[in-house]
Amino acid sequence: MRDPAIETMDRDDLDALSEERVRYTVQYAEDHSPFYRRWLAANGVSARDIRTHDDLLALPIVSGATIRSYQPPIARDFGFLSAPCADIFTIHETSGTTGVPKAFFLTWEDWTRYAEKYARAFAAQGLGHGDRVVVCTSYGMNVGGNTMTVAAHRLKMTIVPTGKCTFPSRIITSYRPTAIVGSVFKLLHLADRLEAEGIDPRESRVQRLIVGGESFAEEARTYLSDRWDCPVYNTYGSTEGTMCGECTVQDGLHVPEDMVHLDLYDPALRTFVPDGAEGRIVLSHLLPVGGRSGMVLLNYDSEDVTSIVSRERCACGRSHLRIRPPGRENDRLAIGMARLDRTEIERAVFAPENMADLTGEYEAFLYGEGDAGAVLRIGLECRDPGACDRRAISGRIVETLAAHNPLLGSMQAGSELRVLFSFTGPGGLELQQIKGRPKRLVDRR
């Protein structure tokens, strides 16, 4: 464990530490962040009014759009920059799927906190001195790959900074990595590619896969774990500063509660949901008293959803809060009264019986509602489209979808929804023609 005193702290002490840091961080924001200073003054709120984390309800919810609207070219200055420019160590940008990327300013002190969050997660996943880790997360303007590398230094690990999962197979055969950080689908592709070259991923030295970057169905994780014959650990990180990781117990992702405060809000973002209920992740940075930050965020709406597994001590000994693997709000569509999450399709695709024929790659499109009903078209990539048992696969997917989502099932039974399938060979899906992070459930209504 990286920091037993903090990571195993009793709940009361941990809550007290968190409250103290909420107070300090809000005061820091009022003193140093033009955005928060102006907002507090305009709304007649003072940092001194914020005494406990419940008082964060009195502060604005900040979205990605808020950050973009307080930075060039919309604004003259960076409203969220909260340290003198000369104190900034690195400037980052998020990938910018919608318009201008968000700018992020990190001091070296921020780096040490990001790195510590990753180091704790890596340690909780059993990594340490002697491990050789291939990092497929992109470097460049992202925070992730870079701060993971600093985290590795803390754990005395070796990093192979490939920055992407399309590295040549010699990285595996020559350097014999013990772990790979990547995304589920990219690590599946890598397994396929290695096997095509006569290298069995199960026979490699890889003992752990660390995945993140997108939500996934547990069935996809199980399949990936089987392909590599090793455990797959989930992480949830972002440039905005969340960094939660599963431990080897795999019963939720630990939130580093001394560095990040996480609230779960109702869909209207008005109030907190009770423990156990699903809510929108709204996060606040926590600075230690006397600490400084290049860009402090309070009440940042991640647009991700999760629920709390437990605030009780985990079997690994850590006391920090555990959350379910977060999902993305924009991975969900409403169809009539029913709601469909992308990972529900993924779960049905990754049924073990399908995986002899399918690669796991899929995409889904939802077309017109109205008198004719809605159509969900699921595209599947087959290893050999000629030999794949299309009827059996389609039947299983429809059954699994209906079994887990009864409303959707009854819409199908009542002809309000038709589910159609298309089967392609390797590389034949529409999303494989698009650069960047693919969207697998697309609303075309």
**Interface residues with Zn ion (CB under 5 A)?**
247, 249, 314, 316, 318
Cα–Cα separations (whole angstroms), residue 317 to 19, 79, 240, 291, 336: 22, 40, 27, 28, 45
Q: Least distance to Zn ion from the beta carbon of 322, Å?
A: 7
Q: Least distance to Zn ion from the beta carbon of 125, Å?
A: 10
Nearer to Zn ion (CB atom), residue 68 or residue 318: 318
Q: Least distance to Zn ion from the beta carbon of 1, Å?
A: 10
Give the C-alpha separation, 206 to 199, whole Å. Answer: 12
Give the C-alpha separation, 93 to 104, whole Å. Answer: 6
Location of structure tokens 């039974």: 413
Q: Strands of 275-337 (E only): list them.
A: 279-285, 300-306, 308-310, 322-323, 327-328, 332-335
Residue 296 neighbours by CB under 8 Å, 6+ apart: 25, 28, 29, 32, 33, 36, 80, 82, 285, 287
Strands 441-443 and 327-328: unpaired
Q: Least distance to Zn ion from the beta carbon of 306, Å?
A: 16
Nearer to Zn ion (CB atom), residue 3 or residue 389: 3
Phi, psi of 26 (to 5 degrees): -65, -40
Query: Is 119 in a helix, a strand, or coil?
Result: helix
Nearer to Zn ion (CB atom), residue 318 or residue 342: 318
Location of structure tokens 């059954």: 399
What is the CB neighbour count within 10 angstroms for residue 435? 5
Q: Least distance to Zn ion from the beta carbon of 309, Å?
A: 10
Hey, CA dihedral for 180, 185, 188, 193, is it positive or negative? negative
DSSP string, 149-217: HHHHHHTT-EEE---SS---THHHHHH--SEEEE-HHHHHHHHHHHHHTT--GGGSS--EEEE-SS---
Q: Least distance to Zn ion from the beta carbon of 117, Å?
A: 15
Q: Least distance to Zn ion from the beta carbon of 220, Å?
A: 22
Give the C-alpha separation, 146 to 91, whole Å. Answer: 12
Give the C-alpha separation, 382 to 397, whole Å. Answer: 15
Q: Least distance to Zn ion from the beta carbon of 228, Å?
A: 22
Nearer to Zn ion (CB atom), residue 101 or residue 245: 245
The shares of helix, strand and coil residues in the chain, as percent rounded to the nearest 5, are 35, 25, 40
Location of structure tokens 């995986």: 355
Nearer to Zn ion (CB atom), residue 106 or residue 259: 259
Q: Least distance to Zn ion from the beta carbon of 320, Å?
A: 8
Give, to the nearest 10 degrees, the angle between helix 390-404 and helix 406-413.
120
Nearer to Zn ion (CB atom), residue 247 or residue 348: 247
Hey, CA dihedral for 40, 46, 52, 58, is it positive or negative? negative
Phi, psi of 392 (to 5 degrees): -65, -40
Q: Least distance to Zn ion from the beta carbon of 207, Å?
A: 19
Nearer to Zn ion (CB atom), residue 32 or residue 208: 208
Nearer to Zn ion (CB atom), residue 7 or residue 344: 7
Nearer to Zn ion (CB atom), residue 169 or residue 250: 250
Nearer to Zn ion (CB atom), residue 117 or residue 318: 318
